[in-house]
Structure 1
Amino acid sequence: MAVRTQKLITDDLHVGMFVSGIDRPWRETPFPIQGFHIENRAQLEKIQSLCKWVYVDVQKSRTLSTVAPAQDFSFVSHYFEEKQRKNGRELLNLRIRSMQNQAPYKRLTNLNTEMRQARRVHKRIRDRIKRTLRALTGEGRLSIEDLRDVSNELVNSVIRNPDAFAYLSRIDSHSEDVLNYSIRVASWAVLTGRHLDLTREAMSDLALASLLCKIGYTTIPQEILRVRGTPTPHMNEMLKWSLVKGVKLLRTSDHFSSRVVKLVSHHLERYDGSGFPRGVSGRHIPFMSQVIGLADYYENLVSYDFRDEPLSSADAVRELFSQRDVLFDAALVEEFIQAIGLYPTGSVVTLNDERLAVVIGQNKARLKPKLLILEDQRKPWQIFKRRIVDLANATGEDFIVASQPALPPDSEHRNRHYFRHATSF
């Protein structure tokens, strides 16, 4: 389908283009609200003096120069169309062939059905992790039985429908402990495993290791962990060295396989050798440890747990893309972005008509996800009439103009909108 609307900075405008939207209220300009053609140089200079960027209707424009649209993801969406990504995936498949399923996974349930099941799985995971932590503080030993079952349930839920659990994990980021942080890391990791067609057994290990990757935080005083925002240098050292203590705790248990312990112990290693604790690099890092490390790095960018101001999904993806073959293997970064989506499930976005929405599902067209409308300040009575928007099936009138950072944990807006609508799709 041809692009109907492009977002352009006003320096890239030309006479003959049809301006259908601007970056400020129409009433503050002399231009007609229904849009207009740029007829002459004087009109062009006027729009450039008033606006930084505008929306141009391609079909209505009389002439269009070959100007790239100023989209959030132009830097990555163009790359995915190149042959280089195909070659990268083929090389990645060769490395993980022994861990891959014989056939790609298919979506087995719709969002409505899986959301109910995913809620139960999410609650059981939290309960089992709490039980495991109580056992740790009481007896000093961990038991795998309480976690392996829920890890398998997480994997099964993501296999049936990759959107439901990711959405629930994201909206439940208001917890004051590290439980939900680990669950969200596990969600991103298993989504990537599903995208790469890893076997259920491999994804079960991936989920279990992700849930345990921050187990060392139990050795840090809780009053320190409850302090939200960017950690101090001293706290960063405590968080980093907690990995060593966590791995020791796992090794005291007779139930955890050496494979799972190895995945946890290597998840902070980095592709260029700058990681922790051993500074190993490249292919010497276990592949699934790289997946967990990438999921952990992404979640750290977009959550309030360890940041004063988390990044939007667009900025986080841009950061990941800049770390190809630096902190992470380039092919894995590209597949991770493909797996979670350019606007990941649970992301808050703004539409072209200023409506606020949350992503509830992905489509093959990565820039056109399914959305749940949270707020329409201009027409609040329409929120119930048109609550779900699938951009892949939209006529071109709806499109995303910006992604927003996650809503603050104590946001009244989060409580009022996220959770009210999370129960009824």
Structure 2
Amino acid sequence: MPDASLPLIPVADLRVGHYVLLDLGWMEHPFPRNQFRLTSQRQIEIIRALGLTRVRIDPARSDLEALEAPAPPGADRRPADTPAAEASIPRTSPDPRAQALAEQRRSLQRCERQYHEGARRYRALQEAVERDPRAAAAEAHTLVGSLLADIDAQGTSAIRLLGDVQGDRGAQHAMNVTVLALLLGRAMGLSADEQTALGLAAFVHDIGKVRLPDVVRYKDDAFTATQLKVYQQHVEHGVTLAQAMALAPAVVQAIAQHHEAADGSGFPWGCSGAEMSPAAHVLALINRYDGLCNPLNPARALTPHEALSRLFAMHKSCFDAKTLSTFIRMIGVYPPGSIVQLSDGRFAQVQAVNAARPLKPRVLVHDSRTPRSEALLLDLQDTPDLSIQRSLRPDQLPRAALDYLEPRPRYCYFFERALRPEGEAREAAA
């Protein structure tokens, strides 16, 4: 952690030569180290894009010569931030496209930073749950409370696809299930207490796996009958640990039932739909969806569109009808991560879905004239003559489009504020 005695300065005041100390995890920024001397304006721009407002510096290790380089003979020595100096600098109108691209990057970086923080808390929870279950519970409460506060503050949220997220598989699954479960619980009108219970159950639903041997920790279709039986015991272990964490009975029940099914085909008890709690119905559905998109063997992964289609066409009886229909409306027929072809023939990847208009998501369009890093997402809400024609698997793309769109080996989700409020979206649809 950076020395708290060192000064914090606004990011806007950073200059080449400052020695900065970033109070971020190593996966939350692109630099090789957390502490370094700024050597270029580009590094400052990257720090600004991280969404930080203040950053800690070490004056003793800053290069004062670089910060206060002498002006050439005859030059005006007034500081560059004085009103007179500012007045002498030609003003140019901001580039709307550059501003939109910068905000697009900032939004994605905020989502990725919060996602990584959640994954960090899950790993901390795993490490603490056996020796200090109350501390593990505190990690879960903090994470879920923070997510719910952000969702409430945003009003209408959009579900967005994250970049190529690296890290622990179990933590990623916990975050995916928690984010989608909270959004679905809100869409179904659950009360504040019910949303909290759902979020806690979603975050720790697989905590019982800490007691499983590594070889059976993640379900594999090649399991023997004995291995499958051991794997299924993670539910019982999870209930025991949840009780040790002093989680509420509603949370424990949802954990106990997260592998049950509405038609009685689930495990460990074969409950029917009427015996399952609303939180358990949500958790069972989201858990299965993420399992189809992100299986142990990536070669067996379904695209988000395929996963949703399979849940509806082949496993419809396994899920509560209202929960499934609300989920489809929320995440869209083409969930984030889906590869699609537009009505004008271009190929694209769905990046974000606003539940108010699920058939009009934001997409990254293959455009050989624009570098991928500089591509603005196309909001299909603003293009009434353009629509999604069909969904594709990545291996159906032309090579150029495949290289440009870069389909991810894993699908990771977070939420952000919708570009326009739900009411405005409805007016646009009228």
| TM-score of the pair, normalised by structure 2 | 0.61
Deviates more, 1:322-331 or 1:142-151: 322-331
1:36-115 residue pairs with structure 2 within 5 A?
115=108
Question: Does structure 1 retain, via aligned residues, the 8 Å contact 2:353–2:361?
Answer: yes
Deviations 1:347-398 (A, max 9, x none): 343435342323223253322211123x44xx24375775211112214245
Deviations 1:307-329 (A, max 9, x none): 63212222222222235762112
Q: CA deviation at 1:156?
A: 2.6
Distance 1:322 1:302 in 2: 16
Query: Which one of the candidate residues 360, 377, 389 is aligned to 1:388?
Result: 377
What is residue 186 of structure 2 aligned with on the other side? 194
Question: Does structure 2 retain, via aligned residues, the 8 Å contact 1:114–1:157?
Answer: no
1:356-375 residue pairs with structure 2 within 5 A?
356-362=348-354, 364-373=356-365, 375=366
Secondary structure, aligned partner of 2:359: coil
Distance 1:306 1:206 in 2: 28
What is residue 75 of structure 2 aligned with on the other side? none
Query: Which one of the candidate residues 108, 112, 118 is aligned to 1:125?
Result: 118
What is residue 141 of structure 2 aligned with on the other side? 148
Letter in 1 for 2:354: Q
Distance 1:214 1:121 in 2: 21
Q: CA deviation at 1:158?
A: 3.1
Distance 1:115 1:216 in 2: 32
Q: CA deviation at 1:274?
A: 1.4
Distance 1:281 1:347 in 2: 32
Letter in 1 for 2:151: V
Question: Does structure 2 retain, via aligned residues, the 8 Å contact 1:192–1:291?
Answer: yes
List runs of 5+ in structure 2 lacking aligned partners: 1-102, 396-402, 420-430
Pair 163,302 (structure 1): closer, same or farther in 2 beyond 3 Å = farther
Quick check: 1:270 aligned with 2:270?
no
Q: CA deviation at 1:297?
A: 0.9
Letter in 1 for 2:250: R
Secondary structure, aligned partner of 2:233: helix
Pair 162,372 (structure 1): closer, same or farther in 2 beyond 3 Å = farther
Letter in 2 for 1:387: L
Pair 220,351 (structure 1): closer, same or farther in 2 beyond 3 Å = farther
Question: Does structure 2 retain, via aligned residues, the 8 Å contact 1:300–1:306?
Answer: no
Question: Does structure 2 retain, via aligned residues, the 8 Å contact 1:247–1:264?
Answer: yes
Distance 2:116 2:106 in 1: 17
Pair 322,127 (structure 1): closer, same or farther in 2 beyond 3 Å = same
- The alignment yields a C-alpha RMSD, in angstroms, of 3.6
Question: Does structure 2 retain, via aligned residues, the 8 Å contact 1:181–1:305?
Answer: no
What is residue 298 of structure 1 aligned with on the other side? 289
Pair 405,163 (structure 1): closer, same or farther in 2 beyond 3 Å = farther
Question: Does structure 2 retain, via aligned residues, the 8 Å contact 1:158–1:165?
Answer: no
Distance 2:129 2:386 in 1: 54
Letter in 1 for 2:161: Y
Letter in 2 for 1:215: I
Deviations 1:86-121 (A, max 9, x none): xxxxxxxxxxxxxxxxxxxxxxxx977765554443
Pair 217,116 (structure 1): closer, same or farther in 2 beyond 3 Å = same
Pair 346,112 (structure 1): closer, same or farther in 2 beyond 3 Å = same
**Greater C-alpha radius of gyration:** 2
Q: Looking at both structures, which has the greater relative contact order when contacts are Cα pairs under 8 Å and sequence separation is at least 6?
A: 2
Quick check: 1:288 aligned with 2:282?
no
Distance 2:390 2:327 in 1: 23
Distance 2:392 2:196 in 1: 31
Secondary structure, aligned partner of 1:356: strand
Deviates more, 1:385-394 or 1:266-275: 385-394
Distance 1:400 1:387 in 2: 21
What is residue 69 of structure 2 aligned with on the other side? none
Query: Which one of the candidate residues 201, 221, 225 is aligned to 1:209?
Result: 201
Distance 1:149 1:136 in 2: 15
Deviations 1:177-225 (A, max 9, x none): 3110111111221111121222332212111100111111112223554
Deviates more, 1:149-158 or 1:137-146: 137-146
What is residue 104 of structure 1 aligned with on the other side? none
Query: Which one of the candidate residues 246, 249, 260 is aligned to 1:258?
Result: 249
Secondary structure, aligned partner of 2:114: helix
Deviates more, 1:391-400 or 1:204-213: 391-400
Secondary structure, aligned partner of 1:178: helix
List runs of 5+ in structure 1 lacking aligned partners: 1-109
Secondary structure, aligned partner of 1:203: helix
1:229-244 residue pairs with structure 2 within 5 A?
230-234=221-225, 235-244=227-236
May I ask how many residue pairs the two structures share in their alignment? Answer: 302
Letter in 2 for 1:368: K
| TM-score of the pair, normalised by structure 1 | 0.61
